């Protein structure tokens, strides 16, 4: 079956999901991002790669951090940027997604960054647009968040370049987390030998082990000797019913404290895709501690998004 993300030459034309992308495409994105990290340190923080192009951020679901980093990334590539919080505009007047997209295409939009609460929304738009228009999935339902997965892997590679030797633990609400899915696909595709998931049974998807992960329900067991600890946010807004007894109980069993972190390797790094619920998933002493790379993740997110946009525009 054809991959809707690739053009006839097998080059990336949309970024909809990590799943189905080769290690060489993922490495191309990571290596390109490496070249953009330094742009932020220049006096003029711009390169002309997207000059004359228009990038439309279509956010049908709120997200300050993702929206802002995509805006900054596009502006650093010299693109014109339009951001629509569609939930508060045309959609509430009864306009369909495709009506909105068609109107923006009529205004000569070149690239769409789409965030939506429904899984598959970005794929739906990508199937509809002409070949010269590119679509980036900025998070769809519980399905995927590919640029977040890539920036997490970029961060891991930056601090732990020997990726073929790593043990990575992903901790928390995997059931509702599109970030976790994207990250696990990226890590396993790039040859990380051991990816662990640690969560209560109620917060794990069925058959999660088919993703190529080792499953743990106990933090002490799961964190033993890992190199990377990725904490996930408790997705309260996506939860149905009582999957947890309480936030306090969750923190006691699955929140990352300095005592629990001590079970990992001494040089282990701590990550979190944000926004953090301090005292629920992670203790402030750990979030702000010297093993935390949570703020660099945000910085690298801009470089990754610049890399994705420049590659798509070049293909």
Q: Is the pLDDT of residue 238 over 50?
A: no
Write down the pLDDT at residue 91.
56
Whether 192 and 183 have beta carbons less than 8 Å apart is answered as no
Q: Compute the average pLDDT of residues 185-197.
A: 97
Q: What are phi and psi of 168, to 5 degrees?
A: -120, 130
Q: Residue 202 belongs to what domain range? A: 146-293
Whether 32 and 131 share a structural domain: yes
The structure tokens listed for 289 are 């501690």
Q: Give the pLDDT band of residue 62 (cuts 50, 70, 90).
A: confident
Handedness of CA 256, 260, 262, 268 (dihedral sign): negative
Q: Give the CATH number of the domain where residue 56 resides.
A: 3.40.50.1370
Whether the per-residue pLDDT at 150 is higher than 80: the answer is yes
Q: At 36, is the secondary structure helix, strand, or coil? A: helix
In 3D space, the residue among 127, 117, 114, 124 whose CA is nearest the CA of residue 178 turns out to be 117
The structural domain count of the chain equals 2
Decide: pTM greater than 0.95: no
Nearest to 160 by CA among 230, 229, 222, 227: 227
CA distance 131 to 134: 8
Residues 189, 281, single domain; the answer is yes
Q: What is the pLDDT of residue 84?
A: 85
In which band, very low, low, confident or very high, does the pLDDT at 96 lie, cut at 50, 70 and 90? confident
Within 13 Å of residue 314, how many CA atoms lie on the same side as its CB?
A: 13
Domain co-membership, 161 together with 270: yes
Let me know whether 116 and 221 are in one domain: no
Percent of the chain at pLDDT exceeding 70: 93
Inside any domain, residue 257: yes
């Amino acid at each position: 079956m054809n991959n809707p993300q690739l053009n006839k030459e097998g080059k990336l034309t949309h970024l909809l999901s990590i799943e189905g992308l080769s290690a060489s495409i993922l490495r191309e994105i990571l290596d390109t991002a490496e070249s953009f990290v330094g742009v932020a340190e220049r006096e003029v923080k711009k390169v002309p790669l997207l000059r004359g192009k228009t990038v439309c951020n279509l956010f049908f679901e709120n997200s300050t951090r993702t929206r802002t980093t995509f805006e900054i990334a596009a502006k650093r590539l010299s693109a014109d940027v339009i951001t629509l919080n569609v939930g508060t505009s045309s959609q509430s007047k009864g306009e369909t997604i495709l009506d909105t997209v068609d109107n923006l295409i009529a205004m000569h939009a070149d690239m769409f960054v789409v965030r939506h609460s429904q899984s598959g929304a970005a794929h739906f738009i990508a199937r509809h647009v002409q070949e010269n228009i590119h679509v980036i999935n900025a998070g769809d339902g519980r399905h995927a968040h590919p640029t977040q997965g890539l920036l997490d892997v970029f961060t891991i590679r930056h601090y732990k370049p020997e990726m073929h030797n790593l043990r990575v633990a992903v901790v928390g609400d995997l059931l509702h987390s599109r970030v976790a899915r994207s990250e696990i696909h990226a890590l396993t595709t790039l040859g990380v030998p051991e990816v662990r998931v640690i969560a209560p049974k109620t917060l794990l998807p069925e058959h999660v082990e088919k993703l190529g992960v080792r499953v743990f329900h106990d933090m002490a067991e799961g964190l033993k000797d890992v190199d990377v600890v990725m904490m996930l946010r408790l997705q309260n807004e996506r939860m149905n019913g009582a999957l947890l007894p309480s936030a306090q109980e969750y923190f006691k069993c699955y929140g990352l404290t300095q005592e629990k972190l001590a079970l990992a390797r001494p040089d282990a790094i701590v990550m979190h895709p944000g926004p953090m619920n301090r005292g629920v998933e992670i203790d402030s002493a750990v979030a702000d501690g010297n093993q935390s790379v949570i703020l660099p993740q945000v910085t690298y997110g801009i470089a990754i998004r610049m890399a994705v946009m420049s590659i798509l525009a070049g293909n």
